[in-house]
Every structure is written in structure tokens, then in C-alpha cells.
Structure 1
Amino acid sequence: MIVRLFDNFTIINLFALNEPLYSLAERFISYIQLEKRYSGHTCTAYRNDLFQFIDYVTLSYSSMPVEDLTHVMIRSWLSRLMEDAMTAKSVNRKISTLKSFFKYCLRQGLIKQSPMIKVIAPKISRRLPGYIEEKGMRAIEDNVSPVSVTSLHIFADDFEGATHRLIFEIFYQTGIRLSELISLLEFRVDKSNLSIKVMGKGGKERIIPISAELSAQISSYMDQKRSNLEEFEGGVLLVHPHSGQRLYPKYVYLTVRKYLTEHQITTLKKKSPHILRHTFATHLANNGADLNAIKELLGHSSLAATQVYTHNTIEQLKKVYKQAHPKA
């Protein structure tokens, strides 16, 4: 039973008021989870979006079957969200959820036409993804702090330092996501073929080549893990340097931010693990890598998501032009 609290005095059982729509939404979530194999995070987001929409429809228009939902109701809900200062990006995600939901209803024969065809998504101002300059990444690879006159090492010469350094190296040399890093297993590192197998979004696997240096670094780390820890979570490549447990997202996030800030590796305000993924892709694009190859390495489902890195390449060309051409 789903209950919503709207003020200090009134509790409304919306499920009882509009059971058909809520039940249909649950069937849709089961479909994308079991048949489409969407990730748990995506299914939760879709479910929240759908239930928010149905809550709004139920309170504003009372109970109704799915075929009576119109583009006017959807526009009204989206307008309310934007009035509440929701960003265009978040609104577009909810539009994507509704498009998928009504497409499912169409295939099930529950509606004759999707009301989403008359819903226009708000424009998003595209920001170029931030990335770290190559000299900053060279400092990390050389393990020499760029802000120290005594050539102070960035990473300590112990197991904790080895863990932190490997986090950076894997992020930068493979471009994998944070969730993919912490779930990377030892047996998925193929040292003979110099590659790693990554479990990406939607349970999709992809193989990413690695350098001989990174392979050797991973082997060294695995040896150190066994000699420094009495117990650790088996199978997982990267573990917490003290507890031996699988790394958790916040630990990795804080680790990356700490090193990028303390050693002034970048002037970017945002210093997250995702910056290293952007850096991987941008450096590939700036050095002439094929866009389709970058798409496969990143695990993007659409080339449109990868094309943003061509803008950074153009910006790099403009910078070179201004510095080198006498008429610039």
C-alpha cells in the first residue's frame, strides 16, 4: 500500500484512488528490470518519476485509465516541476521516463497513440566536460607533485599509496565509470592479452585494452594486497587499504578530490572521478582517436553522447591556432 503525506494533518492513500495506473507502472518497472535488463539505479529512478507523475494526476484530475492521460496533463506536471526550480536536465529525464512508459503501453495495446508526441523537451545548455591537462596527468603518472620544489611524491610509498595511485591510473588509462571501478574483479584482468573486462550499464560487458605498465602495476598491487592484509574481500581487485573490504563510492570520490586539490593538479572547481573519465576521452580525441572507438571504450550506447568530446578537440585546435599563427 502506497501512502503519501501532504501536510501535517492529511494522509491520502493514493494507491486506493488510482490503483490501475500504479499497478501498470509496477508492471512497466518489472519489464525494464527483467526484460530490458536496466540497472537497479535506473529502475529506481524510473519508478520514482512515474509515481510522482501519477501522484500529480491523481490529485489534480482524480482516477483515470491510462488511455485518458493527455499531453495537457503531462505539460501541466512538467510546468509545475519547472516552477519549483527543477533543472531542464532533470525534467528531460522525467520526459524520457514517460516516453518509455507510454511506448510500453502502446506495445501492450493499452493506448492508440502516445501523448508524448505533443510534449516538447526543454533545451539544455550544453557545457563542455571539464578535463585535466596532459601535464597534470603526467605529474600523477610520474608521482611527482607539481607544487613541491623538493619533488615530493604525490602518493605515499605504502599499500594505501599504491591503492590510491592505482585508482587514478585505472580511471585515466581506461576511462571506466566509478561503479565499474569498484566492481572490477581480479579474474577480469587479462594480463596475457593486456585487457580488462568491465561490467557496464545495463549489465553490458566490454573489453578495454590496457598498457603493459598498467598490467604490471595491477600485478604488483595484487601481491601487496596479499602481503599487507590478513583478510580482504575475495575476487575484488581494489579494496580498502585498512579494512580489506570492497571500495565504496564516497571513499573513491574523496580520494580523487583530495589528491587533485592538495597537489593543484587542476584548476577545475569540480574534482570528481568523472573528471578522469572526461580526461581519458578528451586526450584520446585531441590526439586523433576515432570517435567510434572512443564510444566503444567509454561504453556509450549512442554516438551522440561521445560527440561532446569533439568540441573540446576544436577548442584545443583554436588554442594552438591562436598561439602559433602570426595572424591569429
Structure 2
Amino acid sequence: MSAFFKYAAVAGWVQLDPMRAVTVRPVQRGGLRAERRALTAEQAEGLLGAARGLAESGPAVPGPAAPGAGGGRRRPDQRTELRDGLIVLLLAAVGPRVSELTAANAEDFFVNGGTRYWRIFGKGGRTRDVPLPGPVAEVLDAYLAEGRGRLDRGREPKALLLSWRGRRLARGDVQGVIDRVLARVEPGRRRSVTPHGLRHTTATHLLAAATDMDAVRRVLGHADLSTLGRYRDELPGELEAAMRVHPLLGPLERRRGG
């Protein structure tokens, strides 16, 4: 919107650029809501651990009935724990746009050379094949074998993620899924986050781990490397960690130790 109105003012379509009055600029990382920024390693590990645990065991006590399903406990065909765990794992580990996640079909996941891939259909008609980490692939396989079949009502035969009514999961439902998983994280490691914040988390931690920038770009589906700057947040202690393992000083450290 900022770029559009800047051009509109230059082209003479409008006399005043309303976006000049916006207090938070896209480049001001610290000015964004905390929910849209990357989780720290401890926070991300807590969320991923809760998602994995939810997918593996489900709730200790059966939850309330889904909205509109009547009173009492949820029936087996309304249980969404496996699906919810998969959603958070995909968002945090792969960093898709929420629209890419909800538009995914079961047939978009395939195996090549023993590795499970997700063919993501992104912006501008571009597609990318992203390999899934082992723990995520395991939960995906379990969901396809068990969880999805419980939710399937035959209404959305291709959709990967289904609501308890058997419809393709809507974009607006994803935040509720994240919040349910967050409720399982111990308070000291819990912080609210949006789907876009998990996309920031993916980019930030991959780059902090010295992953090749072009590889990160391809995982996220960006057209060029410059876009990564908007998804890279600062992490506590990352500069100190980088200087402790300085590549130029490694030989000197080894020589002194010898």
C-alpha cells in the first residue's frame, strides 16, 4: 500500500499520500507488533515441542464439543489434535504463507529419493518443492493415514487441512489453531505469535544458523534475496555467538590450545 500511494502521488492520481501519516514503516522491525516478529529459540522450541506432543498423544482430557456439534465431549471424528500439531509444525519449520498452507492439497506432498517434499504453489504462479524435516514428515504421514480420514466428509476430496465439518480449513481458523497449541507451552517459554510471525521465525533461525541465503529464499518462495531483509529479526546473543566462533580466529585458537 505504501508503494502504491507513493506512485499514485507521483503520477498525479492523488494530491496527498495518506501513507505518509502511517506511524509504523515496514522497515522498522522493532515497530511491528510482537506477534508478527520471530520467536526466540526457546520460545520456538516450546511451541514445536507442544505441537509434536499434541500430534503424538492428543489431549489428556477430551475437550469440549466443537461449535455447533452439540453438548458433551467431542466425537472421534471431530478430534483435530493431529491436524493442529501438523499445522504448527509446517508453519514454524517451512514458513509458508498462510494462504499457501490452507490451499495445500494432499497430492502436493510426495516422496523423492526417500525424502518427503511439499510442492507449494505460491505467488505469481511460482511453485517450489521444499523438503520436509524428518519430524514434520512423520506427523504429516500420521495425519494422512489417520487424522485426515476422521475429518473427511467427502466435501473437499483434495484439501489437506480439513475443519471438523469436513470443509477446507479457512485462513481465519489458523490463528485459533496456533493459540490452542500455545496454551500447551509452559508459561516461561510462551509468547503469542501469528502465522506471519512463524514465517519470520523460520527465516530468522535459518539465517542465524548460517544457512545459505539463496536456500532460505527458495524455502520461503521469495523472488529475490533483498526481500529476506524484511523477514530477518535480531535474536538475543546472536552477535556474541557469532564472534565466539569467528572463522578467521579459529586457527589461532587451535594453535594456542595446542
Normalised TM-score (structure 2): 0.68
* Secondary structure of 1:207's aligned partner: strand
In the alignment, the residues of structure 1 paired with residue 183 and residue 105 of structure 2 have an alpha-carbon distance, to the nearest angstrom, of 29
Structure-2 residue corresponding to 1:156: 59
Contact 1:191 1:215 survives alignment (8 Å): no
Contact 1:232 1:243 survives alignment (8 Å): no
Shift, 1:73, TM fit: 3.8
Structure-2 residue corresponding to 1:168: 88
In the alignment, the residues of structure 2 paired with residue 213 and residue 88 of structure 1 have an alpha-carbon distance, to the nearest angstrom, of 38
Instruction: Point out the more displaced range, 289-298 or 204-213.
Output: 204-213
* Secondary structure of 2:119's aligned partner: strand
In the alignment, the residues of structure 2 paired with residue 280 and residue 310 of structure 1 have an alpha-carbon distance, to the nearest angstrom, of 9
Structure showing greater Rg: 1
Contact 2:103 2:159 survives alignment (8 Å): yes
2:28 to 117, 126, 149: 126
Q: Would you say 1:183 and 2:103 are equivalent positions?
A: yes
Matches within 5 A, 1:213-252: 213-224=135-146, 225-227=148-150, 229-240=152-163, 242-252=164-174
Structure 2 vs 1, CA of residues 289 and 247 (structure 1 numbering), >3 Å: closer, same or farther?
Answer: same
Shift, 1:180, TM fit: 0.4
Unmatched tracts of structure 2, length 5 or more: 31-35, 61-75, 246-258
Structure 2 vs 1, CA of residues 229 and 261 (structure 1 numbering), >3 Å: closer, same or farther?
Answer: same
Q: Would you say 1:292 and 2:214 are equivalent positions?
A: yes
Structure-1 residue corresponding to 2:239: 318
Structure 2 vs 1, CA of residues 186 and 302 (structure 1 numbering), >3 Å: closer, same or farther?
Answer: same
Contact 2:46 2:190 survives alignment (8 Å): no
In the alignment, the residues of structure 1 paired with residue 188 and residue 95 of structure 2 have an alpha-carbon distance, to the nearest angstrom, of 18
Structure 2 vs 1, CA of residues 72 and 247 (structure 1 numbering), >3 Å: closer, same or farther?
Answer: closer
Unmatched tracts of structure 1, length 5 or more: 1-44, 54-69, 90-123, 146-152
Structure 2 vs 1, CA of residues 125 and 206 (structure 1 numbering), >3 Å: closer, same or farther?
Answer: closer
Q: What amino acid sits opposite 1:253 in the alignment? A: Q
Contact 2:97 2:199 survives alignment (8 Å): yes
In the alignment, the residues of structure 2 paired with residue 77 and residue 244 of structure 1 have an alpha-carbon distance, to the nearest angstrom, of 48
Shift, 1:191, TM fit: 2.6
Shift, 1:254, TM fit: 2.1
Q: Percent identity between the aligned chains? A: 20
Structure 2 vs 1, CA of residues 211 and 311 (structure 1 numbering), >3 Å: closer, same or farther?
Answer: closer
* 1:135-180 Cα deviation digits (max 9, x unpaired): 33333343389xxxxxxx9953774111110001111121111000
Structure 2 vs 1, CA of residues 127 and 217 (structure 1 numbering), >3 Å: closer, same or farther?
Answer: same
